[in-house]
Amino acid sequence: MEEHVGALWHRFITCAAQCHYPDAAVALADIEKTAGLLFRAFSGDPGLRVVPTAAARHGARRRWLARVAGLGEKIEPTCRDAETLQLPAKLALLPRRELNYDLYLWLIALAAAHDAVDPDTPWWRQNQQGTLIALDRYPGLQPRYRRLVAAVLESRIPPERLPHDEAVQEIALRQALHEPGSVLDLPAARRPPQPMPLWLYPAPTPAAARSQPRDADGSTAGGGATERDRQRRHAEYVDPSERKNSFLLPFRAESLLSWAEFVRVNRPTDDDPEPNAARTADDMDVLSVTRDDSSTASRVRFDLDLPAASEDDLPLGPGIKLPEWDYRKRLLVPNYCCVQEMLARCAQPCELPPSLRRDAQRLRRQFEILRPGRGWRRAQPDGEELDLDACVRHAADCASGGQGHERGLYRQLARQERNLACLLLADLSLSTDAWVNNKGRVIEVIRDSLFLFAEALAVTGDRFALYGFSSRKRQHVRVHRIKTFAERYTAPIRGRINAIKPGYYTRMGAAVRHATGLLEQQPAARRLLLLLTDGKPNDLDQYEGRYGIEDTRMALLEARREGLHPFCVTIDQEADDYLPYLFGKDSFILIRHPEDLPRQLIRLYTRLTG
């Protein structure tokens, strides 16, 4: 009975203290693509990703019902840093859905205007400056802004119900909303001001960068498939305890701490994942992260040191120095990366695997239609027969009083050729060693794709080349030569395809620049660069996050300036976050089921070259 009454009381007080409107909620997931598009349309930094923000304690005064119910301690502040625009995962602050939607639009416009504000001024001045800039750039936002200000002020505690110091501060904030730019100094108070949903908050200071254990695909150490969590959380790095004994003696039950308090004690790591880890992380204000020398038993530790020269692939030449784009300095750093072409040491000539022969035979029959045939070339100086159209034009010129300039009068029967060159660049990072299903790994899907792609293009007669790449820091970008443009598709080439294996990391910009240099040497009217990958750019050094994205984007822009046509084929389910920024909305394709990659790749080539 006591538990039943307690549950009823909890439900009653929670509903009475609720200051949100669940029926009018708008989720960021529903407008995420629109949010990114609008942010760029409002002249925002195109390199920023839109992600959900992390909840944080605001410390401001709450209504007494909220204090009784224990609600309203945290808010999801809108902020931006060098890599992300962080918006609330859901907005239900205002009573109508259209108002919450307009609040999202306003926050996006204000975040775009923050590029032009003075970064050295306090955050309340920055928001007033950003408001003036946004309203001046887009006058159509003014009616929406006024409606939002009126709705937000109704939800705040009025000044007459606040202590004197907080009331003076609240009056100043209300004036700053009604008349942006009029409040130059915010009066001090014992408590922070009430949350301001119409403004951006300062981004949390990142913890000092330290080396964290990472897999070769760029993900942090952890076992098994996990639910995608893109929320930006507050974290700190701490030093691990040097004590080996984890027992606490003497033990008292009342001395146990909550999960939000970090204790520097070594504890054993369980092999089984914690089912409520995400919920626990949401309840913590700051995540304390440290690095020890142990790993869970369910993880396999890979040694990413380079193999001995006798066991490694054969290097071809001394290496090629290439530049790299540093977006922070807005500078192309010359001779920053070293690309080393490699050739498989133990690639034995082989035939097509039996499991692919039926598909290859069907593709060869389909692609024979694209093979150039024999056709007539008109207006030639000599040939098998006269070109009647050329003769008529020549006679008409002479009859009109002209001299009839010299032109070819014959038709010549010759073989027609497609003026096309294609280079397929495959990602061979260690993440391709992952299993896509119970039957095979990603590297095996890529291998089958290369086999079928080469079989199909060999029939058409198009010039094509096959390369793979991986990296281990900037001085060792490995580009594996599988087939050059000058080589014919024979048994030795099939042996090289069969010998591909997972490598290291994904320094994509250097690989794209090297492929661009190879394609530039081809005298073709249309040059196609196909990039086959399973993840975003990453490496052991600073080539992570936005740095790698920006360098790859600059490499693709350089390729387009040289007349190339880059296109990306990916099986990364998070590709929608970054590939539109890299390649554009129509220059990439996401394969939802990796086992369909070989068939989709051939179909894509037909569409791109048809």
Give Cα separations from 453 to 170, 368, 411, 590 (angstroms).
67, 14, 36, 18
For the segment 10-33, the average pLDDT, to the nearest whole number, is 81
566-605 residue pLDDT tens: 999 999 888 888 888 899 878 999 888 888 888 888 888 8
Name the pLDDT band for 11 (thresholds 50, 70, 90): confident
Greater confidence (487 vs 36) lies with 487
Q: Does 116 have pLDDT greater than 70? A: yes
380-430 residue pLDDT tens: 787 778 888 888 888 888 887 766 556 688 887 666 566 789 999 999 999
Give me the pLDDT at residue 290, please: 66
Per the domain annotation, does 517 fall within a domain? yes
Greater confidence (382 vs 288) lies with 382
Cβ-contact 231, 77 below 8 angstroms: no
DSSP assignments along 19-60, one per residue? ---GGG-EEHHHHHHHHHHHHHHTT--TTPEEEEPPPEE---
Distance (Å, whole) CA 196 – CA 75: 10
Greater confidence (250 vs 143) lies with 143
Q: Let me know whether 526 and 443 are in one domain.
A: yes
Give me the pLDDT at residue 215, please: 44
Q: Let me know whether 439 and 558 are in one domain.
A: yes
End-of-domain residue from the set 415, 431, 447: 415
Q: How many domains, in total, are found in the chain?
A: 4
Give me the pLDDT at residue 221, please: 36
Name the pLDDT band for 300 (thresholds 50, 70, 90): very low
For the segment 455-476, the average pLDDT, to the nearest whole number, is 91
Distance (Å, whole) CA 591 – CA 483: 25
Q: Does 148 have pLDDT greater than 90? A: yes
If you average pLDDT over every residue of the chain, what do you get?
A: 82
Q: Let me know whether 137 and 34 are in one domain.
A: yes
Give me the pLDDT at residue 412, please: 76
For the segment 45-69, the average pLDDT, to the nearest whole number, is 85
Per the domain annotation, does 309 fall within a domain? no
Distance (Å, whole) CA 527 – CA 510: 19
List the single range of 278-292, 306-320, 464-478 with lowest mean pLDDT.
278-292
Across-strand partners of 420?
526
Q: Let me know whether 448 and 551 are in one domain.
A: yes
List the single range of 71-75, 205-209, 476-480, 541-545 with lowest mean pLDDT.
205-209
Determine the 3-state secondary structure of 507 from DSSP.
coil
220-253 residue pLDDT tens: 333 344 455 666 666 666 666 554 544 445 545 5
Name the pLDDT band for 132 (thresholds 50, 70, 90): very high
Greater confidence (525 vs 227) lies with 525
Per the domain annotation, does 345 fall within a domain? yes
Q: Let me know whether 161 and 235 are in one domain.
A: no
Q: Let me know whether 14 and 52 are in one domain.
A: yes
Per the domain annotation, does 300 fall within a domain? no
End-of-domain residue from the set 384, 415, 446: 415
Q: Does 518 have pLDDT greater than 90? A: yes
Distance (Å, whole) CA 249 – CA 265: 13
Per the domain annotation, does 499 fall within a domain? yes
**Token pair belonging to 329:** 């300095």
Give me the pLDDT at residue 178, please: 93
Per the domain annotation, does 307 fall within a domain? no
Q: Does 474 have pLDDT greater than 90? A: yes
For the segment 316-324, the average pLDDT, to the nearest whole number, is 93
The helix (H) or strand (E) run that includes residue 64 is helix 64-69
Cβ-contact 400, 393 below 8 angstroms: no
Q: Let me know whether 502 and 446 are in one domain.
A: yes
Name the pLDDT band for 208 (thresholds 50, 70, 90): very low
Greater confidence (16 vs 320) lies with 320
Q: Let me know whether 571 and 510 are in one domain.
A: yes
Q: At what angle do helices 597-609 and 354-367 cross, to 10 degrees?
A: 20
For the segment 306-318, the average pLDDT, to the nearest whole number, is 78
Q: How many CA atoms lie within 13 A of 234 on its CB side?
A: 17
Q: Does 34 have pLDDT greater than 70? A: yes
Q: Which domain holds residue 211?
A: 205-218+230-244+257-267+275-294
Give residue for tokens 């790994």. Answer: 441
Q: Does 255 have pLDDT greater than 60? A: no
Give me the pLDDT at residue 565, please: 94
End-of-domain residue from the set 415, 444, 472: 415
Q: Let me know whether 604 and 472 are in one domain.
A: yes
Distance (Å, whole) CA 103 – CA 147: 10
Q: Does 610 have pLDDT greater than 90? A: no
Per the domain annotation, does 577 fall within a domain? yes
Cβ-contact 445, 597 below 8 angstroms: yes
Cβ-contact 550, 513 below 8 angstroms: no
Per the domain annotation, does 183 fall within a domain? no
Q: Let me know whether 380 and 456 are in one domain.
A: no
Q: Let me know whether 397 and 468 are in one domain.
A: no
Name the pLDDT band for 267 (thresholds 50, 70, 90): low
The helix (H) or strand (E) run that includes residue 322 is strand 314-326
Q: Let me know whether 63 and 121 are in one domain.
A: yes
Q: Does 219 have pLDDT greater than 50? A: no
Helix locations, 256-325, DSSP H? 277-283
